[in-house]
Amino acid sequence: MSTLLNSLTTELRRGTLTLAVLSQLRTPQYGYSLVQLLEQCGISIEQSTLYPLLRRLEKQELVTSSWDTTESRPRRYYVLTPYGIDIYQQLKKEWEKTSQELSLLLKGEDNG
Amino acid sequence: MRMIDLYIQEVTRRLPEKSREDIALELRSTIEDMLPDDYSEEDVKPVLEKMGNPAILASGYLDRPMHLIGPRYFDVYINLLKLILPIAAVISLISLIANTIISYSGEEAVLNVVLDVIGLGIWGIISTGIQVFFWVTVVFAIIERTDHKNSQTPLTACFKEWTPDDLNNISYIPKEKAISKVEVFLGLLWTAIWASGYFNAASLLGVYEKGSNGLEFVTPTFNQEVLLSYWLLVVVVIGLEIAVDMYKLTTGQWTRKIAVLNTVMHGVSSIVFIVIISNNQLFNPAFVTYMTDLFSITGDFDNWFSWGAISAFLLFAVVDVYQGFRKANIKK
């Protein structure tokens, strides 16, 4: 039973990952700093999902990346493009709408 | 250090050449970010465990699917296999049977030949099936990999997305009117058997007697020259039978048109049959004498035999024609 619950939870969260990642990329972040930021907010993300996801977002022109070699080890920083900011805002609205609708539904169940 | 190198190699070897270096560099910096400044091999293990299976990580970087045939093509793929596999199996079986009958020299016992055909037939069907399965799968796997549209919507048999208009192309077939594929294939098989039999009657049809090497062919039933002089008519009948079978296969149900065609086919084949069998030169005199002796029939063996055969043939034809019209007229 718990494996079913696990897979359902993963499925439920998968769609929100892109939004979570986009929300943290308004300021430039490198891979590990992004993981830490997300973990601080309680969102754990598989590393094997995150790095490919960042590449995909770059391919979709939502983020740009650049190497920073000024520090002790080179790091690849990702940041939202103007197009990315636009998409992020719209996605955020969608999410807020969805979560409102859903909480209404779930509340209705509690009362009934 | 070594484990990190190996891990990165395991990921990048699955990636296209041009992106390898960049991704390797990023992975290395990420992994080192997760480690303390002064780390040992023991520290590396849990970090790599967090990074996960290199194959999964690599497949995340690739847009290539991790399946052979995905949801977009799966339904078309299965339907096509279901359509092609039985046709391929029947064609291989029919060609095997026809080939065996045509190349039959009359030296081997019929039973052995039949057993051989069954064995070879099973083997032929299996190997044809595997071939068809392989090639259809290869073609679909290639299509899956060359189609770069992101849509996952399954496609219909016309390789388009489904619309309600597609329902107009499907005919509703009630069970009582349906013509099963098995029925059609058995029909084709029967045509193949009798046609090959006709052209090889000299060495196939006749009297067999138990001899020193099992069954021995004693004397043919027919006068081969007379029999074969009707070849043009026979070819017409073969063509008609195949045409009707094919038409049945594509329509899938009894309609008035098919019932009429079926009647025409039976009419023509009955006439041809009667014409051939009522030729009094048809039977091999040796065969007639043999049979007359065997059953000690008083009277005319050819006549007796001919009338029996004609009645049986006509009876079968009439029943089939009647059934055709009955099924075509079922209203549903």
Find out whether B66 and B59 touch, Cβ atoms under 8 Å.
Answer: yes
Residue of B nearest to A57 (CA): B61
Whole-angstrom distance, CA of residue B82 vs CA of residue B91: 15
Structure confidence at residue B213 (pLDDT): 64
Token look-up 């029996």 returns B308
Structure confidence at residue B312 (pLDDT): 92
Contacting residues of A for B52, CB less than 8 Å apart? 46-48
Give chain A's mean pLDDT.
88
| Distance of residue A59 Cα from the nearest chain B Cα, in angstroms | 11
Structure confidence at residue B32 (pLDDT): 86
Structure confidence at residue B89 (pLDDT): 86
Whole-angstrom distance, CA of residue B258 vs CA of residue B251: 9
3-class DSSP state of B38: coil
Whole-angstrom distance, CA of residue B80 vs CA of residue B143: 14
Q: Is A51 on the interface with B (CB under 8 A)?
A: yes
User: Residues of B57-72 as b/e, b for ≥16 C-beta within 10 angstroms?
Assistant: bbbbbeeeeeeebbeb
**Number of other residues whose CB lies within 10 A of the CB of residue B218:** 13
**B57, A48: Cβ pair inside 8 Å?**
yes
Assign A71 a pLDDT band (cuts: 50, 70, 90): confident
Whole-angstrom distance, CA of residue B213 vs CA of residue A71: 95
| Minimal Cβ distance to B32: which of A47, A48, A73 | A73
> What is the value of pTM for the model shown?
0.59
Phi-psi region of B114 (alpha: psi -120 to 50; beta: other; left: phi over 0): alpha
* C-alpha B165, offset from chain centre: 30
Residue of A nearest to B52 (CA): A48
Find out whether B273 and B230 touch, Cβ atoms under 8 Å.
Answer: no
**A52, B51: Cβ pair inside 8 Å?**
no
Residue A112 has pLDDT above 60, yes or no: no
Q: Apex CA B198: angle with CA B195 and CA B204, to 5°? A: 120
Structure confidence at residue B42 (pLDDT): 84
| Number of A–B residue contacts, CB under 8 Å | 47
Which structure tokens are listed for B56? Answer: 């999964």
Which structure tokens are listed for B287? Answer: 């065969």
**A52, B60: Cβ pair inside 8 Å?**
yes
Structure confidence at residue A95 (pLDDT): 94
Structure confidence at residue B150 (pLDDT): 64
Q: Any residues with CB less than 8 A from the CB of B151 and at least 6 apart, and which?
A: B72, B161
pLDDT in tens, chain B (332 residues): 688 899 999 999 988 888 888 889 888 888 888 888 788 888 888 888 888 888 888 888 887 777 888 888 888 899 889 888 888 888 888 888 888 877 776 666 677 778 888 898 899 999 999 999 999 999 998 988 887 666 667 777 677 777 888 777 777 777 888 888 888 888 888 888 888 888 877 777 777 777 666 666 777 888 888 888 888 999 999 999 999 998 888 888 888 899 999 999 999 999 999 888 888 788 888 887 887 777 776 667 667 778 888 999 999 999 999 999 998 888 76
ipTM of the complex: 0.78
**B52, A48: Cβ pair inside 8 Å?**
yes
Contacting residues of B for A33, CB less than 8 Å apart? 33
Whole-angstrom distance, CA of residue B302 vs CA of residue B204: 19
| Distance of residue B45 Cα from the nearest chain A Cα, in angstroms | 15
Structure confidence at residue B181 (pLDDT): 82
Which structure tokens are listed for B306? Answer: 């001919």
For residues A102-108, average pLDDT: 87
**Amino acid at the residue B270:** S
Structure confidence at residue A24 (pLDDT): 92
Structure confidence at residue A97 (pLDDT): 95
**A74, B29: Cβ pair inside 8 Å?**
yes
Model pLDDT for residues A18-43, shown as the tens digit of each residue: 999 999 999 999 888 898 899 898 88
For residues A84-104, average pLDDT: 93
Whole-angstrom distance, CA of residue A107 vs CA of residue B305: 89
Structure confidence at residue B215 (pLDDT): 67
Share of chain A above pLDDT 70, in %: 96
